Structure 1
Amino acid sequence: MTQPLAILTGATAGATESFVVVPFELVKIRLQDKSSKYTGMADVVKTIVRQEGPLALYNGLEATLWRHISWNAGYFGVIFKVRDLLPKAETSQGQITNDLISGSIGGTVGTMVNTPFDVVKSRIQSTTKVPGVIPKYNWTLPGVYTVFREEGFGALYKGFLPKVLRLGPGGGILLVVFTACMDFFRSIQ
């Protein structure tokens, strides 16, 4: 394993994950909108399909790809490098500590990289598509520029603190559990 390969495999995993999570993210965003009139998850799906068509369940796919690819590439690229910089663990407790540290740093960096894409993704998905009307937030990179131009750099990091408080330590826990599972599966071969 090399750092470029870690980044590539992380990005590939993020891209794959995006195709699975987009409809769920879309439903979540529509339900969380303070002006939402939906009665529940099924109502969101039924309304979107009826008013916008079945492919509308994938509104925000491009932004979700940017969000997941950047987080996973950042996460796996950073943990690879941080693990390399940390002293070699001589005990299982040392391995857990190293994984917590490198995973938490990776989760934090991944979140720093992907938050602007997440902000734009939420704006894209909270907009109901109307035939013949081009939404203000339609594509990710122009959306990032629009937010920056109209609201300033800080707006690209709205919600960053709770997100990094979840994904920073979550990245550490993820790596500890992943390593433990891999060690277990190797031991039973």
Structure 2
Amino acid sequence: MSEKKTLSPLYSITAGTIAGISECLVFYPLDVTKTLVQLQKGTATKQSTFTVLKDVFKRGVAYKGISSPLAMEGFKRSVKFGATTEFKKFYHKLNPSFFKENSVNVNVASGITSGIIEGFIITPFELVKVRLQDPLTKFKAPKDCLNYIIKKEGYVKLFSTGLEAGALRQSVWNAAYFGSIPWLKSFIVPKSLTKEDPKYHQKMLFSNFIAGTIGGLFASTVNIPFDVVKSRVQGAITEEAKLYYRSNTFVTIFKIAKTEGIKTLFAGWTPKVMRLAPGGGLMFLMFEGMMSFFKKINGIEE
């Protein structure tokens, strides 16, 4: 029996890149809003998400710092989708009975693994982005910020500041997102749907978008404490702040909950969900659509 024909990893990397850049361009202002909300410290009255979002557009900073994440986004999403796709193959071959094709188990395991890799990739980009988005920033462009970090803090800090929290954030998000999608689709896709249905592709597109949106909502909710810590660690400029946030991620989560309340660990949830719920739907829709196209031109049946 011949081995099932599959696409080269290059195709899933390309599809992931296109999906990531599309999501970033559409939803970036909400990322700026999320970071600004998360950087509000203490127990004093804080501005609401919609107040911050309105102010972001009023001050003309809705796309401030986008060159850094845009440069990162294609690479990051190519890893998210490309590496996850390849790890799914790896884990399935490793233990076919436990890691069944497109099962929750294989999706969670591959999502965690690709998330760790993502953490190493995104850290310097995220550090520059957070420093630029800080309302008290003195930097006008990513290059200024990057040069300052290298000169004052060094190359090691550029790649290590927020690395642990960032890797945990990505791993938890990927595990929740990719792990929930096959389960969600088992409920969303009609059991009676077949490829002979004239509206098969439209129904699958709709199902992919809904599953991706719900998966994005779930993933964004469970990983946000790690996101808050990452923003705080990377936004720490003073020596006092750096000392406060130098503990490991879980100790820092406990510190924030104890001094500012558990609610603070979910700071930025609204703009994050406003971005990554529909953003998750858009990404999955774009990725699946591109992969279907690539399979079609390569003569591979889905």
Aligned partners of 2:236 and 2:242 also within 8 Å: no
Moved more, 10-19 or 92-101: 10-19
Counterpart check, 1:113 vs 2:222: yes
Percent identity (aligned): 38
Q: Which amino acid aligns with 1:173?
A: L
Gaps of 5+ in 2: 1-100, 195-199
Equivalent in the alignment of 2:172: 70
Number of aligned positions between the proteins: 188
Distance 1:164 1:134, change over 3 A: closer
1:85 equivalenced with 2:187 (yes/no): yes
Q: Tell me how far apart the structure 1 counterparts of residues 286 and 139 of structure 2 sit (CA, whole Å).
A: 37
Secondary structure at the counterpart of residue 135 of structure 1: helix
Counterpart residue number, 1:183 = 292
Alignment pair present for 1:32 and 2:133: yes
CA contact (8 A) 1:52 1:129 kept: no
Deviating runs (4+, > 4 A) in structure 1? none
Alignment match, 1:122? 231
Q: Does residue 236 of structure 2 align to residue 137 of structure 1?
A: no
Equivalent residue in structure 2 for 1:166, among 268, 271, 275: 275
What pairs up with 1:29-68 in 2 under 5 angstroms? 29-58=130-159, 59-68=161-170
Q: Alpha-carbon deviation of 1:175?
A: 1.2
The 1-side partners of 2:288 and 2:144 are apart by: 40
Deviations 1:102-129 (A, max 9, x none): 1111000100011111111000001137
Shift of 1:18: 1.8
CA distance in 1, matches of 2:145, 2:258: 32
Provide the rounded CA distance (Å) in 1 between the counterparts of 2:107 and 2:162.
Answer: 26
Distance of aligned partners of 1:133 and 1:33 in 2 relative to their CA distance in 1, 3 Å threshold: closer
Partner residue, 1:20: 121
Q: Specify the SS of the correspondent of 2:106.
A: helix
Aligned counterpart, 1:101: 210
Q: Structure 2 length normalisation: TM-score?
A: 0.59
Please give the TM-score of this superposition, normalised by the length of structure 1. 0.93
**Residues of 2 paired with 1:115 and 1:129: CA distance?**
24
What root-mean-square deviation, in Å, do the aligned CA atoms of Structure 1 and Structure 2 show?
A: 1.7
Q: 1:10 is matched with which residue: 100, 108, 111?
A: 111
